[in-house]
């Protein structure tokens, strides 16, 4: 009986250990699966190289509102919002400049994929479409994109002066590549900026992003 009891105890201990290991694995999996950048959470800091060869970090802009825009000039959904007229993205960038908001355009296309450009080409593209981001960050490794789980171009994030994310997701409410839809869509970025300026809660803090997939390696 004593031997049997010890055996049972051994089995029970083994099962308990297995359960503990399984629970630990589930916790680790859940933690790794949790979004790295979501509304209400601190924006992950990063350092990147700009199209002009500078190094900038998100923390450089502490105390300011920051907008992140994932882009790919070959994507028709990006082309929609840069079309002239109505210059939808350019208009948002102009407003940001007037309001002392930092606009960081991020290009996470890997070498050999759609949208991958060097610094000179990135600058040329923006000049050709009258775009005016504060900086263009080249992210060919995709490290910054993966940190933010950027899924599409465009994919937008608004970061408050206290470094919390106020908005993440689609630029507007109509997931199409038709320029004609811009006029009737609700622009989530504009709405979030209006709310922040008025000191009010952002009503839509997340919307499913739409566009071309980010061209990671």
Chain position carrying tokens 């610094």 = 119
Q: Please report the pLDDT score of residue 1 as a whole number.
A: 38
| Average pLDDT for 67-71 | 98
Distance CA 68, CA 148 (A): 10
Q: Please report the pLDDT score of residue 212 as a whole number.
A: 98
Strands 66-70 and 102-107 come out as parallel
Task: Lay out the sheet containing 55-57: strands in order across.
Answer: 55-57, 47-50, 135-138, 102-107, 66-70, 155-159, 165-169, 206-207
Contact 49, 192 (CB under 8 A): no
Lowest-confidence range among 15-19, 48-52, 108-112, 172-176?
Answer: 15-19
> How confident is the model over 150-199, as pLDDT tens digits?
999 999 999 999 999 999 999 999 999 999 999 999 999 999 999 999 99
Judging by beta carbons within 10 Å of its beta carbon (0-12, 13-18, 19+), is residue 167 exposed, middle or buried?
Answer: buried
Ramachandran category for residue 63: left, alpha or beta (phi over 0 → left; psi -120 to 50 → alpha):
left
Q: Please report the pLDDT score of residue 33 as a whole number.
A: 36
**How is the chain split among helix, strand and coil, in percent rounded to 5?**
40, 20, 40
Q: Please report the pLDDT score of residue 9 as a whole number.
A: 35
| Average pLDDT for 74-102 | 98
Tokens of 141: 């490794």
Q: Please report the pLDDT score of residue 35 as a whole number.
A: 55
Full-model pTM: 0.84
Distance CA 175, CA 153 (A): 12
Residues 65, 70, 74, 76: what is their CA dihedral angle, to the nearest 10 degrees?
-80
> How confident is the model over 116-143, as pLDDT tens digits?
999 999 999 999 999 999 999 999 999 9
Distance CA 90, CA 103 (A): 11
Residue 207 CB partners (closer than 8 Å, separation 6+): 169, 170, 173, 188
Kindly state the percentage of the chain with pLDDT values over 70. 83
In this structure, what are the phi and psi dihedrals at residue 55, rounded to the nearest 5 degrees?
A: -105, 125
């Amino acid at each position: 009986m004593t031997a049997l009891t010890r055996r049972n105890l051994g089995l029970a201990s083994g099962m308990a250990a297995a359960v503990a290991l399984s629970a630990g694995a589930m916790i680790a999996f859940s933690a790794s699966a949790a979004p790295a950048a979501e509304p209400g959470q601190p924006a992950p800091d990063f350092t990147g190289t700009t199209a002009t060869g500078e190094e900038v970090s998100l923390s450089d802009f502490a105390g300011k509102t920051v907008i992140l825009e994932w882009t790919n000039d070959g994507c028709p959904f990006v082309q929609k919002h840069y079309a002239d007229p109505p210059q939808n993205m350019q208009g948002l960038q102009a407003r940001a400049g007037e309001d002392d908001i930092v606009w960081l355009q991020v290009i996470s296309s890997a070498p050999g994929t759609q949208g991958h450009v060097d610094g000179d080409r990135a600058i040329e593209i923006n000049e050709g479409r009258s775009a005016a981001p504060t900086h263009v960050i080249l992210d060919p490794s995709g490290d910054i994109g993966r940190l933010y789980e950027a899924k599409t171009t465009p994919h937008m994030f608004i970061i408050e002066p206290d470094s919390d994310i106020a908005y993440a997701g689609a630029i507007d409410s109509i997931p199409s590549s038709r320029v004609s839809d811009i006029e009737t869509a609700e622009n989530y970025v504009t709405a979030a900026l209006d709310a922040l300026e008025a000191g009010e809660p952002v009503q839509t803090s997340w919307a499913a992003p739409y566009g071309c997939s980010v061209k990671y390696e």
